[in-house]
Structure 1
Amino acid sequence: MTAIRTFISLAAGFAAVLMLCGAGVCRAGGIDLPDNLRVHGFAAQGFVQSDHNNFFGDSEDGSWDFYELGINALWRPTGKLKLALQLTMREAGATDDGDLRVDYGFVDYTLFSTDAVSGGVRLGRVVNPLGFYNDTRDIAATRPSIFLPQSIYFDIHRNFALSSDGVHFYYERGADSGDYLFQFGVFEPRTQDPDFEPAIFLEEVPGNLEGATSWMGRFVYEYDFGRVRLGLTASEVNVDYEPGGFDPLAAGEFHFRPLILSVQYNAERWGLTTEVARRTSQLDGFGDFADAEFTGTNYFIQGTYRPRPGWELLLRYDELIWDNDDKNGRRFEATRGLPHYSRFAKDWTIGVRWDITRHVMLRAEWHQVDGTAWLSTLENPVPRDTRRHWDLFAFSAAVRF
């Protein structure tokens, strides 16, 4: 896979260079944006306060360690060829360090296109086709809330979930009965999230996790211009472990297999969304580290209401269970010595959004949580010091152009 990874990296870099040239940076005389180039940017600053437990910084004392900055571009040099790139700086407490990174950068080539049917291929770092919200989770204004439902979309592993390096094929068909969209990709996952390793091994280890060949597919059906939406996502994400010096672990493999059913109804002023995921996690090898396999069922139910233009209210219940055979975590606590409530999280959320203008948004939300299954171990290094029942308040101000 080394040659494939190198080729994909070159493709993403080539996309970036071509877009810069298309924007006029490669020409003398300054920047001259052509009609076939779109450039957008966004920024958001958040504040997080919790009565117990830390999330996105030292939130028990109130944390401003949550901001997002980004710029993206889409260039169409020909009718069939598109190039897309997004650069982002994001800080989220100990789970994201604010370094500049490429969220996505890919070449998109249309293989066929008619009035009703189109299909093509994307090569490079591509956004993962995961559920309803992963495509739009990178920009604050396009998310349904400050924090996505954590049962499906982990924020502490945001880079791992958002995009991956590989090749994706897509097919879209419009008909009187509705619109049909299908995407399938073969890729290597990104494993650079600081909290990814402790989440697998329950502690930091000397070796390194490297993405291995994986796949993901999603089918979406939309009726009446999105009034009704149905989706199904299936994937197998594979990660290899390479031991480090004086490592008690042998080389091993981590396998993650989510299956997600998504349903949404949108009316003029209100909407309902639910997504249900059945996820299997498997550890193979690792020497004395016991092999393990467990399956959890997770879901959220979310309602939104728009009382007047520019305002939106949100109510959501979100539940995460790591192991269906140990839902209350008591067996985990007996064998691992860690709190049983770290194996589940049940979250009630209420929120409000105010679009001051088309480009400026304010948002606030309050979470009442039972369990700590989606907390970062980097920000909460002593699990016994965490509290099972805790509240979290978040505020965000965002702009986009």
Structure 2
Amino acid sequence: MKRVPSRFFSLVLLLAPFYSWSSEWQFNGFVGQGYIAADDTQLVVGEGDTSFNITEAAFAVSWKPIEHIRIASALSYRQWGSLAEGDVNFDYLFIEYSHQVAEGMLGIRGGLFKNETGFYSSTRNVPFTRPSIMLPQSIYSDYFRDAQLHIEGVDLFGMHQIWDGAVDWHVSVGKVDVTEDLDRNVMGSAKLGSFDSERYYSTDIEFQNDYLRLGLTYFDAEVSYLPSMEDYYPGDIRLKKWVFSGQFRYMNFEFTAEYMTGDRLINGLAFPPMADELVDSGIGYYLDLRAYLPHEVELFVRFDKHIDDKDDTDGKEYEAVTGLPAYFAYTDDWTFGARWFLNNDWLLAAEYHWVEGASWVTPIVAPDPSTQSQHWSMFALQISYRFQW
């Protein structure tokens, strides 16, 4: 269990002075178990065609010892087939100060917290608050999850009533919290070396009312790489991305679209360092149409597209330079899914992915055409239970 002991004792020391005058506690959590079957790929399932190693769980605590001060923490467990080995870590651990200002609120938090990229980044760990079992990989890639999700630093935030809705905003500075999952998913094995965080900063603003939701995010995340094997080189990966988000709700229908653009800058890693950085100007977007039916049933269809380099949309230049098939430079993913809230505490979800391309199939630096086809598919099933008191 990585990093839990030191942060656990830090939390105990932090809470101790307030214990005698505690005023408000909240406890909640969830557990989810899934199953994935895949054809013509080893993504998630590894060398087999199926995997039951799709397990998520979390237990969260929020405490307001005095007015304006909140302390929050969550321990989470996540095993996601070959993408994430089962481990217990802090999902967040922070102290927060907030104060009402006119008809809004301003606040600041410090510690370990979630980033706010797009609509679903900060809530992607919880089956009940994300729109599907697997999020659109063009925006919320599972392979690079560690370099974007958990931030150790400071977050300045606010909420303001405006027109007939509210505006939320965040300005965050810190470092990303990486694990060995990033080493395996990018390089192919943790034995080849390790990644470490260099810096992270982002700005996010979002408007929402009863029928409309709009968002804009910019983030700059950098991780460095230290090799432990020959033929690999020290280096770094830096993402500088913009995310534009929109959602419209009408009667029992909901349409969501998000678009990401920006640069991925790479130095070193699996090739000798060059005088100039290798820069890919990639794009990604998805279109999601959802219907809310009686008996708490949701049906959705989604098209998700990712291109590593917008100047090489069909991957031909990638193939000429690397010798690898062109389909490793792009991905088109059609997803058909359903979610059923059996009651307030239970959720059953199922989805089918029909995919062409493999730009987000691991390992990213050394993809293997012998185990990854151009056309492939995946079926996912998950049941989840949540609790609160």
Settle same-fold status: TM greater than 0.5.
yes
CA distance in 1, matches of 2:126, 2:12: 20
Taking only the aligned residue pairs, the percentage that are identical comes to 27
5 Å matches for 1:371-390? 371-377=357-363, 382-390=368-376
Contact 2:145 2:182 (C-alpha < 8 Å) held by counterparts: no
| Deviations 1:248-288, CA, capped at 9 Å, x for gaps | 52x43321111000001123411110000003100236682
Q: 2-side partners of 1:17 and 1:268: how far apart?
A: 50
Total equivalences in the alignment: 380
Question: CA distance change for structure 1 residues 121 and 73 in 2, over 3 Å: closer, same or farther?
Answer: same
Match of 1:41 among 17, 29, 32: 29
User: Which stretch of structure 1 is more off in the superposition, 153-162 or 183-192?
Assistant: 153-162
2:230 corresponds to 1:255: no
Letter in 1 for 2:80: A
The alignment status of 1:282 with 2:282, answered yes or no, reads no
Q: Alpha-carbon deviation of 1:202? A: 7.3
SS in 1 for 2:314: coil
Q: Partners of 1:97 and 1:141 in 2: how far apart?
A: 22
Residue identity matched to 1:384: S
What corresponds to 2:223 in structure 1? 239
Cα RMSD (Å) = 2.8
Q: 1:107 aligns with which of 92, 95, 99?
A: 95
Q: 2:117: which partner in 1?
A: 130
Number of the residue aligned with 1:264:
247
Amino acid at match of 1:157: F
In structure 2, distance between residues paired with 1:204 and 1:100: 18
- Tell me, yes or no, if structure 1 residue 306 matches structure 2 residue 292: yes
CA–CA distance in 1 between the matches of 2:377 and 2:268? 39
1:292 aligns with 2:278: yes
Equivalent pair of 1:12/1:125 in contact (CA under 8 Å): no
Separation of aligned partners in 1, 2:184 and 2:45: 19
**1:207-246 residue pairs with structure 2 within 5 A?**
207-223=193-209, 225=210, 227-244=211-228, 246=230
2:96 matched to 1:77?
Answer: no
From 54, 75, 90, the equivalent of 1:87 is: 75
1:191 aligned residue (173, 178, 181): 178
Residue 182 of structure 1 deviates from its aligned partner by 1.1
Report if aligned partners of 1:160, 1:193 keep a CA contact under 8 Å in 2.
no
Q: CA deviation at 1:241?
A: 2.9
For residue 327 of structure 2, give the secondary structure of its aligned residue in structure 1. Answer: helix
DSSP-derived class of the 1:159 partner: helix
Letter paired with 1:106: F
CA contact (8 A) 2:147 2:222 kept: no
Q: Is residue 176 of structure 2 the alignment partner of residue 159 of structure 1?
A: no
Report how far residue 58 of structure 1 moved.
3.6
Q: Secondary structure at the match of 1:142?
A: coil
**Is 1:141 the counterpart of 2:128 in the alignment?**
yes
Larger displacement relative to structure 2 (323-332 or 344-353): 323-332
Quick one: distance in 2 between partners of 1:265 and 1:213? 34
| Cα offset, 1:13, TM superposition | 5.4
Q: 1:205 to 1:365 in 2, by over 3 A?
A: same
SS at match of 1:194: helix
**TM-superposed deviation, 1:161:** 2.7
Q: Is the 8 A contact 1:365 1:395 kept in 2?
A: yes
Structure 2 CA distance for aligned equivalents of residues 331 and 277 of structure 1:
22
Tell me if structure 2 keeps the 8 A contact 1:263–1:275.
Answer: yes
Query: Bigger shift: 334-343 or 293-302?
Result: 334-343
TM-score, with length taken from structure 1: 0.87
Q: How does 1:341-356 map to 2 (within 5 A)?
A: 341-356=327-342
Q: CA 1:247 to 1:337, structure 2 compared with 1: closer, same or farther past 3 Å?
A: closer
1:391 aligns with 2:374: no
Higher mean C-alpha deviation, range 204-213 or range 353-362:
204-213
Alpha-carbon displacement from aligned partner over 1:174-208 (angstroms, at most 9, x marks no partner): 13343111101111112214244652x67777443
Contact 2:58 2:77 in 1 (8 A): yes
- Is the CA contact 2:112–2:151 (under 8 Å) kept in the aligned structure 1? yes
Q: Is contact 2:267-2:273 (8 Å) kept?
A: no
Asked whether the equivalents of residues 11 and 106 of structure 1 are also in contact (C-alpha less than 8 Å), the reply is no
The answer to which structure has the higher strand fraction is 2
Alpha-carbon distance between aligned partners in 1 of 2:310 and 2:225, rounded to the nearest angstrom: 26
Give the match for residue 159 of structure 2: 172
In 2, the alpha carbon distance for the partners of 1:126 and 1:13 equals 18
Matched, 1:273 2:217: no
Deviation at 1:149, TM superposition (A): 0.5
Change (3 A) 1:314 1:193: farther
Counterpart amino acid of residue 102 in structure 1: F
Alpha-carbon contact 2:238-2:264 (below 8 Å) kept: yes
What's the CA shift for 1:162? 2.1
Deviation by residue 1:303-332 (Cα, 9 ceiling, x = unmatched): 111121311111100001111111111221
Distance in 2 between residues matched to 1:14 and 1:118, nearest whole Å = 28
Alpha-carbon offset, residue 232 of structure 1:
0.3
Q: 1:245 to 1:300 in 2, by over 3 A?
A: closer
Unpaired stretches in structure 2, ≥5 consecutive residues: none
Alpha-carbon distance, 1:345 to partner: 0.8
Distance 2:79 2:7 in 1: 27
Stretch of structure 1 that moved more, 336-345 or 165-174: 336-345
Paired position in structure 2 for 1:57:
45
